[in-house]
Amino acid sequence: MLPFRLQLLRADHAPALLAFERENRAWFAASIPDRGDDYFADFDARHAALLAEQAAGVCFFHLLLNDDGAVLGRVNLIDVADGAAELGFRVAEKAAGRGLATAAVREVCALAATAYGLTALHARATLDNAASRTVLARTGFTPTAAITLTGRPATRYERPL
Ligand SMILES: CC(C)(COP(=O)(O)OP(=O)(O)OC[C@H]1O[C@@H](n2cnc3c(N)ncnc32)[C@H](O)[C@@H]1OP(=O)(O)O)[C@@H](O)C(=O)NCCC(=O)NCCS
């Protein structure tokens, strides 16, 4: 497994995070909706808004960093409500296929139960996203419903903590 350090998102992560999103834009867009040009144009304001949400306890944004401080991936918990949150993750193309998402999701599930006091997580993945579905199955998520996500057939998953 590729080694990484997991850190909660901070203001000073902005340049490394922007580089990660820029370098991997086409890679992500092959599996999930593109963030759009506005995301990159308004990155600093958005970064500040995410930190404000995190400070309010509504979201927990985690970065996976290598020893040089470069971002290898992200695992986010958003929309905390009633003891549950929605899990989302993405890994850099150059770091993919080496167990990073699986290990990081496991770590975030543990944090969610202990540090954040959550009792359940949910997630969604399109049927054509085999890597994401593999990660969710390996980390204890169970399919609970057939849904549509960005116009494509998808599955909703849940995991008690
Ligand atoms: C999904 C994603 C986060 C997986 O990250 P990762 O670090 O490569 O994941 P892992 O290495 O922990 O596990 C992925 C597993 O899926 C498998 N996999 C990858 N692509 C696959 C495919 N097309 N078909 C079947 N299995 C596939 C990998 O081989 C690996 O299994 P293995 O360990 O048995 O080889 C990464 O591919 C990504 O960022 N994709 C774009 C964004 C995205 O789809 N995010 C999820 C939104 S729901």
Which of 21, 109, 135, 147 has most ligand 1 atoms within 8 Å of CB, for mutation?
A: 135
> Which CATH number characterizes residue 67's domain?
3.40.630.30
CB 156 within 8 A of CB 143: yes
Cα 39 from Cα 136, distance rounded (Å):
27
**Edge-to-edge strand order for the sheet containing 142-149?**
5-8, 60-65, 71-81, 84-91, 120-126, 152-160, 142-149
pLDDT band at 1 (very low <50, low <70, confident <90, very high): confident
pLDDT mean over 97-124: 97
Angle (nearest 5°) at CA 76 between 9 and 38: 75
Does the beta carbon of 132 lie inside 6 Å of ligand 1? yes
Domain that holds residue 108: 5-160
Does the beta carbon of 133 lie inside 6 Å of ligand 1? no
Does the beta carbon of 74 lie inside 6 Å of ligand 1? no
* 117 SS3 class: coil
pLDDT for 139-150, tens place per residue?
A: 999 999 999 999
Instruction: Return the DSSP state at 71.
Output: E
CA of 135 to the centre of ligand 1 (A): 6
Concatenating the DSSP letter of every residue in 19-66 gives HHHHHTHHHHHTTS----HHHHHTHHHHHHHHHHHHHTTS-EEEEEE-
Residue bearing the CA closest to ligand 1, atom 37:
131
pLDDT for 18-62, tens place per residue?
A: 999 999 999 999 999 999 999 999 999 999 999 999 999 999 999
**Element spanning 81, H or E:** strand 71-81
Which pLDDT value is given to residue 2?
87
Q: How many separate domains does the chain show?
A: 1
Which of 91, 105, 141, 155 has most ligand 1 atoms within 8 Å of CB, for mutation?
A: 91
Cα 81 from Cα 154, distance rounded (Å):
23
